Structures are given as C-alpha cells and as structure tokens.
Structure 1
Amino acid sequence: MTEALRVGIAGLGTVGASVVRVLAEKAAELQRQCGRPISVTAVSARNRDADRGVDLSGAQWFNDPVALAKSAEIDVFVELMGGDEGPARDAIKAALDAGRHVVTANKALLAKHGVNLAETAEKKGVLLNYEAAVAGGIPVIKTMREALAGNSVSRVFGILNGTCNYILTRMEAEGLSFEDCLADAQRLGYAEADPTFDIEGNDTAHKLSILTSLAFGSKIAADDIYLEGISNISQADIRAAASLGYRIKLLGVAVRTDSGIEQRVHPTMVPTQSVIAQVHGVTNAVAIQSDILGDLLLVGPGAGGNATASAVIGDIADIAKSQPGFQHGPVFGRPAKELKPYKKAKMRSHAGGYFIRLTVHDRTGVFAAIAKRMADADISLESIVQQADSGLDADVKTVVLVTHETTEAAVRRAVEGITKDGHLTDKAQVIRIERAE
C-alpha cells in the first residue's frame, strides 16, 4: 500500500480540532480521492490536557511547535496557531528549511512575510498552501493561482470579513445600532472580545493584500492599503442607502490602473439589485474580473471551524496527490523572485461616485454654500436632498448628496471646505459607491 502522508498540526483550537476530526471521519474517502492515506502523526498546542473532543492518542505530542515542524516524522506541517511573528513564523520557516510542505490559515503572517516564505518554499521544492487564509471555505486561492491561468485580472473585490457583514446585515434588517449588533456578534462568537482587528478593516486588508499579489503579480503590500472600518456607520447611513437603492457592505477592492495598483478597504454602497448586495450574515464573497473568463463571483462560508477546516483539508489533499519529484507551481502564481515591487496608484475616480451625509444647522444659505463648495471642487451632483430625521433637534437637518464620478481628492477638498464654513454640527460621513455586478 502507498505510504501515508504524515501530518503534524500546531494549534488545536476550533479549526485544528475540526481538521483532526474530519481527517479521521473522512479517512476512507480521502484515501480514495488522494490515492494514499492521510494520518495525523504529531500535534502541538499550549495545553496538553484540554478536552478537544477528538482522539489524539495516536499522535506524538510536541510542546515546541518548532520541534514539530523540524521532525522527520512528518511530511506536512499545518500551522493553525496564528500571529504574524513568534512561534508561527519560526515554525513555518523551520518546516520549509527542513523540506516539509506547509499548510497555514495565517493571513496576518502571509501579509507580512509571505514573499520571503514563498522564496524559501520554491527554493526547497515544497508546497506552501494557504487556502484557508482568505475567505474561509471559498476556494479563491486555488481559483486565482490555478484555474485562471492565462487570464489577466483587472479587478478583484469582495466581502472578506464575516463579522462586519453580520453586523451590517443585522443593522439593516432589524434597525439596530452598530453597538448593539457588535455586542450580539460577540455573544454569538462571531466577534472577539477586542473586535478592533475586524471592525476597523485590518483583517480584510490582510486578505486583500494576498489577493492583490495573486491578481497582479506584485509583492504583498498590506501597509499600502487605504483603510476605513465600519464603526462610524449609523442607522442614518443605512436608511439613506436604502432610500437611494443601495446597501452598505465593507469591501476590499484591488484595481489595476495606468498609474499602478489601487488597494482600499472601506464601507461601500452597492446597488441593492447587485449579486454582492445579496450576500448576508457571516457569508463571504469574492468577485474577480478578467479578460478571458470575464466576471466571476465566488460565495460561501467565510469563517467557522468547519469552513476553515475544509480549506485546510483541501490543501492537505493537494499535497497528498502530488508526486515525488514533481516541480510544484509558485506560491503566488508567479515565482516569488519575479514578483514586481508594489506600485501604489494615484488617487483616481471611482465609478458610481460618492454618498455624502452632512448634519447641518437649519439656516438660510446652507444649501447654497454646500453647492458652491461642490462646484469649486468640480464635483457634479446627481442629487442633493434634505432628509427628515426625528432623532435630531429642530434646528438641525440632514443633507444627503450623491455625486457623479469624481476623485477622492475632490471630495476631500469639498468636505474640508464645508467643515471650515461652520455649517456642520457633526463630522461629515463619506461613503464610496462601487460598481458591482
């Protein structure tokens, strides 16, 4: 019988335990599909005595994940510890240096060290697989790295964080405040006790930076992303969006332009009738626009033990199917040494324009002053509407503007001017309107 693929897993939290369980439950089916058995032969975690609901009696225990990564008793090292430095990075590097294949779900580590790790993997002739690092169970990495071979990608965007999508979905459906939805997400386990990484867009940015590298053949540049979270989204924004035929989503967007690559993460208004607007709850979605295939939308579970475990097991299965001595494809779709330096695009126009909500003093001349600032910034307005808001004082009004296509710089200039004029009672809210099929 063909020798088993020996797997060592570092990190036995929700995902790690799910991987162990599914590999055991699906052992016969995986053997048929891969042509060889897959066996968990070694594990490492912080607490050896915790009850994880899985049988680990047949696995060797390592207190040190780096020692596990170097062990000659494994063929594949699976890193599910998390963190962009420390044990996770040290263990992955040790595994690659030792000629072991690596599977990881660690988007933060890849966003920071992915290119260097890819160079090591390619030099050693081993695989570095990371399907679970982006969009949970959606096979977007495999799609971009393999299935879109020959395609030139012009744009990739999507809903990449289930926590934010859950909050925005509940806010719209039930009229709840951001704070109430966040508290509920924490209670249900969708958000961490400290939710900053999710709600301020950092998690989405890490995932987007990986997709950008795959899409455009550039080095990962997670620090060169315009970043804006959802903590300032209010019911006033949700209601205004609905009245205009839009829905608010936190999107990560990467676009190839004449001046470079544009990467941005921010709340976005998408047309209610668009497919991506129908993605609710903790579900994720990734849209890819390319020259040969055209438009592709992948939708599926973006988080949770089973979804992430499915992606991890898919990566392990790919390694089990690979033949000894086979020259593996590059980690980011192109040889790591050939990835181009990231070139940040200049500020540009965004198709669909901008939504601007202003809370202003109700006095003569305010509308005229706002319109003049827009005209001075060469911004064409599609509409300007004064909305009633029972939650505001009688001498305060809400003004909603929707612009035609314009530039980020022009909008900022106009809003700064309106702020200086002294008409605002609160900070202006600016949300981009994104073209989305």
Structure 2
Amino acid sequence: MASRDHHPLAQYPTAQTDLGWGAGAGPWDYRKVPEPTLSSLLAAVAKPNTIGSVDIIDFQPQAEQSSEDLHIVQDWTLQNGTWKLLAVFDGHAGGETAKHIAATLPGQLQSALVDALVRSEWKIDPISVSNLLSEAIISYDDSLMNDLYDLFPGGLEELEKLSDNEVKAVIHDSATDGPNHAKVARCMQGSTALVSLVDPDRDNIWVASVGDCQAVLGVRVDPSTWRVSTLSANHNATVPSEIEALRSAHPGESEVVLNNRVLGGIAVTRDTSAVGDHIFKVDKLWCSKVFMNAEQPFKFHSAKPETLISRIYTPPYLSNKPDMQHVNLTQIKAFAGGEITLILCSDGLVDLFDARDEPDLKKVAERWMELGSAANPGNPKDVYANGALRVLREGLGGKDEDRVAQLLTVEMSGKWLDDITTLVYRLQ
C-alpha cells in the first residue's frame, strides 16, 4: 500500500471496516470516495470493454495481485457463417494452466468443428457439436498428463529408481527456456473452463463447464419478467450427493472429503472438476517425486501439498469430463420479446451476491439480466454504458456507495475479493 501521505486517494477521508467478516477481522482503513469519482475509480479498475455485442469486465481491486482469470471472445467466419466462441477460465494455484488452455483450446476446437461440419456437408448436428466440445476439453487435459508422463518414459518403475537430483535434472530446464518445467507447472496448477459456442443463425447455444464458473441464459418474456436458465453445473464438495459419490468411489478413505474439500484440498469434484490439478488425478509417486521437486511453488491455500499427497490412495479423485448443455433457440425467439442474453462469469461474481445473503442464483441472475441486457451503445460520458460493469456494481453494493468504496479501497495486504470476470452477450 502507498503511504498515507502519498496515497492516490489521499484527499478523501479514511474510515475503518471489517468488510462484514465479523469478530476478529480487521478493522482496516478504507477511503470514503464520493460519486462520481467512485464510479470512475470502479471503471478504471474493472477495465470495461465491448467486443461487438459482448460487454466484458475483468476485476481485481488489489493492485498488487494479478488476476488469474482469463476470457475469450472470438468470431469464426466459416463457410456456413460466423460462429461465436465465448469462454472464461479461472486459474488456481497459479495462472499457467489458465494461460495455456486459453491459448491452445480455441484453435483445437475450431479445427474439430470445421472437420465435423465438412463431414456433415455443413449441416449443424447439435449432438455432434456437443460431443466435439466435450472431447476437446477432455483431450486438452489428457495432453497435459501425457506431457508429464513423456518426461519419464519408463513410467512409475523408472521414476521410483531416480534420486531427487536426477528428477530435478529433467524438470529444471530453465536454461533452455524451460519447456519441461512449464509442462510440470501446468499439471501442478489448474483452471476451470466455461466454454460456449453459438451458431451463425443464433439458433443454438452450447455450453461446456468444468469447475465452478457460471453460465446463465435469460429470455425476456414481457417488459418486467425474465425467464432464466442455468447452463452450467456447479459440482463441489458441499453438495451432499457429491460427497456420497466420492465416498462410494473411494471406500475406506476417511479423508476423501475433508472440510468440504476433496482430500482437504480443492472444492471442485469428480463430475466437473478442473483441467490440470493432476495431484488429484495421478499416482502419488508422480506428486512426491516430480511436483514436490519442482522449482515452481506448489501450494494450496487449504492444506500443505505433502499432507494432500499422504491422502492419495486410489486416484483419480477428479475427472476432466465437462457438463454439457445445449439450448435450441428457434422457438424461444418467437416469444423472447426481442431480448435474449447470455452471461458467463467466474465464481467471484457469484461470491459477491452470496456475501450479500442472496444465494439463489436464478433470482440473482434475473437481476443480472435486467442490468446487463439493455444495449447502451455509446455515450462516452456514461461510465455504466457497459452491461457487465453494471452487473459488477450491483454485486459490490449497488447504491450503497460506502460498501462499494470499502471493497475498492480497503487497505489490506492480499486478496479480499476473488478475481471477477463477466461476459454479457446480447444475442438479440
């Protein structure tokens, strides 16, 4: 933090807050920034952007913390028209996996789509598109694991015989730009993946979700009513059915779910996990001999890596199979009242509303739609011309200027909010 005398907002008075965290938290100083400066500050931090009919924000208020969220908005002009790709990736334990999948997956997915369309003579088969989207994500994650295995082609038998120094000699190759080191890092770290495709006529939406990002589709059925559908699955270890499924798959392992986390380490679970995070997918020898010897810091906020490794008996504990949703919009368009909106976001946005005791995602999403849908093309003086920024402002506190000021300016080390990425796509 800057010193008090040289604080960039030094002209505004200070106050103290516990951010609503209760006894033992804080208090921390924050700046009581008034409007319109408060809105200008929010826009400067959230970096609102618009690409075509997609409004975007990337938000992390702690300037010293880099965001591990990434997003993609692409148009693919193919023989049968222009397809749209939207994606959000939320990295954890580091940003290498998120960066790599964001750079790699779109090209692989586009090639697979073109191949499928050529085979079908450019007719769209919704099931085929669902399958290729799912297979592209699974194939990507499998490739990370295969890259790891290829470093030690003798497998576990070879690895067990190697000393720690011999393992380090293979994986510490920074003098040659570190391709081996990068392969290990992408397996040690992880990322969620929320990927959506929309066909040229906007008759079909496909959404693949791996992890706990959220996709919601809103259809305005009359001037005051939105019909909202959740198009992503959020499987985590607080869901009773998920806990029971994990325990059934790994009988006798008392710590397979600990403190609402898989092996006490990660909240996403078997059916929709994350890409990477191979500590939960490979034999413990790979973890203890390779991951623990890597230069890349290997850490989880919830447990020490060596403690997690000690709990591994029957991997995998996570799969890489995405939840798939397909929506046919042809009939919906007839009564949509002219507005159909798709919102994709990282879990940080949902957490904002959970913190405000608004856990019903569908009810929250109805408010998102109202805020995010209306196109506001372009008064450059209007800070809130961007629909994604309007949604973010609501989550931070809406008209409660003091709450928004707290979350923007609290003088705390480390992250007090998760990274937040939001895409608002107006289909019509």
Q: TM-score, normalised by structure 2?
A: 0.24
* Greater radius of gyration (CA): 1
Larger relative contact order (CA 8 Å, sep ≥ 6): 2
Q: TM-score, normalised by structure 1?
A: 0.24
